[in-house]
A and B are shown apart, each in its own frame.
Chain A
Amino acid sequence: MSRRGAWVAAIALVAGCNDRPPEVVKPGAPTALVPSHGAVLEDTTPKQDVRLLPAEAYVRSYLQLFGGLAPVDVQARARGADGAQLFDTWDDYLSALGFPDYRNDLPRGTQTNAIMVATFERLGVALCDRALEHDWKAKPAPPVKERVIFAFDEPAAPASAAAFAARFDVLHKTFLGYPAELAPPDRVKNFFELYQGIAKRHAAPGVRSRFTADESGWAAVCYGLVRHPEFQFY
């Protein structure tokens, strides 16, 4: 093909394109008529079971809650100097609490077991009993804002359901981080029954304790919450 022929063909091709009629887009159906696919909700259900907090996290929580002391000071406070044998040393419980043991290449505990649960009890009882001594039995008693755990006035014994609920809510927020009214419905009632039962038992003649009946009830509520499964899991 000659050069002229090529030019003619190219011009014809361009002209042919330009001659194409404008594309007409017909309007579609109004969007209101397009069938809806429905609302897609976000699935927020948990995809796995709750897990045990690392030992460092919950022991740090203990330290923070019970006065923000160093571990050795908490140990000293829990042991006390009164021969009560409420606690021993942290070293005695490290493996039982789930800490890893790098001396023996043993990994951290990631599941609770009955000995760990027993250790939570041993530790929780010691911390709560000492906290109650500090908050309510010290002479003179510290002002409410300086109290470690029991940051409310001791109600007239025995506490009524309403007086208990208000104070229990303080403890519930302290240990479990949310108001008691958001907990499963029977929780306040169950803990009130626990408080009443223990206070009644300690009020009986012949029961010896360093706490009054009412104080015993509140101490039990405290270590019920610090040992609560919601405290150890996330």
Chain B
Amino acid sequence: MDDRQPRRTFLKVLSGAAVVAASPLRALSAMAAAAVPSDGEFFVFIHAAGGWDVTLWADPRNEKKGLVTPASTDNTDTAQVRRWQDAPLDGATRTFQPLRPARGNQVFGPGIGDLLDVADRITVVNGLSMNTVSHPDGTAFSATGRHLVGGRVPASSIDTMVANEFGREQTFPAVSVQYPSSFVGDDLDRRCVPLVVGNIGTISRTLARSSLYDSEDDREAVTALLSKEAKSLAARSEYPDVMQGMALQYDALRRMLGSKLQEVFSAEGLKKAHPEFKYAARFHGASCVNAAFALEAMKRNVVRCVSFACGGFDTHANNYRFQAQTQQEMFDMIAVLLRGLDETPHPTRAAAKLSEHTHILVVSDFCRTPQVNIGGGRDHYPNNSALVISPRFRGGLTFGKSDPEQLLPLKAKRFTDGERAIAPPDLLATFLAAFGVNARKYMRDGEPVPELLKS
């Protein structure tokens, strides 16, 4: 026997171990293995559509430096922004005073609104590298971790991933109201195709049925027959997935109609059940109905994931004057939602509050330019911030940073592929890892950031 064999074997094992050690997969699987059970968790995903100005909330800038022209009384309607406290800028022009919560390393701008009161539960990610200034691309990148490929979304969005992991048996696995949801992949459960609607009222209207002609039993019999037909077609097909999926969706429809939630989920019903939201708000009154739906549906344990968009952030011109108010309204709404979750018992876990098992992720397409344009607005910029409110994330923490003079993402840490800025795939991978999900199941890129998670 060759006496060098053990040494060769040892070298092979050593090199294999080195490759594995360098791989992000290792980090992913290690975190997945260490995660706690995740059934009974609920998820809310919010997309601030249009690209928000991070200098007004997560990454506040209140002095002229390099390219940065801060929000000021010249370009911002400050009267309605409650957290705005004047600070000197340039002669009679005033800017805002940054807000520092008592604990943690965070600093906020006045757009943060009432969320400042719960800053210790907030995780902020700054300096997210977007590499795009296109709305569709930034939207897809934030929600899926992939840029568009020839105009197509090449991966599933985060709500689909989460619904596929934890929502298969729910009546509504993923409800998506104008959220950039996508369902891409062969190994996903078709019950988890996001239920895309233009507004929450559509759910109620879609499930409403007249009883003047036919009865619930009649419609039930037809749906049962169609489920059988779909199964029969699947059995005769070379590629049975779509027809099998249809059969599952017919069964899901029967569950939905059987749940008698039509009235509860009408816009009027939700407003009555949750008067605490500001439905008459100027910018996000309609979104408040979505938030009320999320709260009510989670309370009734019929949904796993609610995602919706809040518009109005694309302020290229003089409408920039309202950017801070737009942010304030959205964050106020999230604060009300959070209070509601605090006051609502978990539907299946005794003595637990809903907020202890609800996880909120807020992202946007990208941020806005540090300089103000000649129209008095700000344009698209390839930097971004994100907000997470989750019991599994470290609250009171701001992670990542941007350049003080150009507002561009700076290196956040050493990833396995080198030192670089954090990017949306990393954030999404971290979100999945928090629930023990191996992100490689859904995502090509991204590496979890353990610094964001509670140990």
Contact = CB atoms under 8 A, between A and B. Distances in A.
Interface of A: 45-46, 48-51, 84-86, 88, 91-96, 98, 101, 104-107, 109, 111-119, 121-122, 125, 129, 184, 186-187, 190-191, 194, 197-198, 201-202, 207, 209-211, 216, 219-220, 223-224, 227-230, 233
Contact of A115 (B153, B195, B210): B195
17 contacts: A49-B242, A50-B239, A86-B210, A96-B196, A101-B198, A105-B180, A114-B195, A114-B256, A117-B253, A125-B213, A129-B213, A201-B218, A211-B213, A220-B222, A228-B226, A229-B229, A230-B233
B309 A84 contact: no
B178 to A, nearest CB: 5
Interface size bracket, B side: 35 or more
B238 interface: yes
Contacts, number: 170
Given A92-B202, A94-B198, A122-B209, A129 B214 contact: yes
B210 A227 contact: no
A220 B224 CA distance: 12
B208 interface: yes
B139 A105 contact: yes
Contacts of B217: 201
A91 B257 CA distance: 22
B93 interface: no
B413 interface: no
B141 to A, nearest CB: 13
Contacts of B242: 49-51, 233
Contacts of B136: 105
Given A95-B197, A107-B153, A220 B218 contact: yes
A220 B218 CA distance: 7
B225 A115 contact: no
Given A48-B239, A216-B214, A228-B229, A113 B209 contact: no
B215 A201 contact: yes
Interface stretch (B243-251, B321-329, B374-382, B384-392): B243-251
Contacts of B253: 114, 117-118, 121
Contacts of B401: none
Contact of B221 (A113, A209, A220): A220
A115 B203 contact: yes
The 3 closest A-B pairs by CB, nearest first: A49-B239, A114-B252, A113-B193
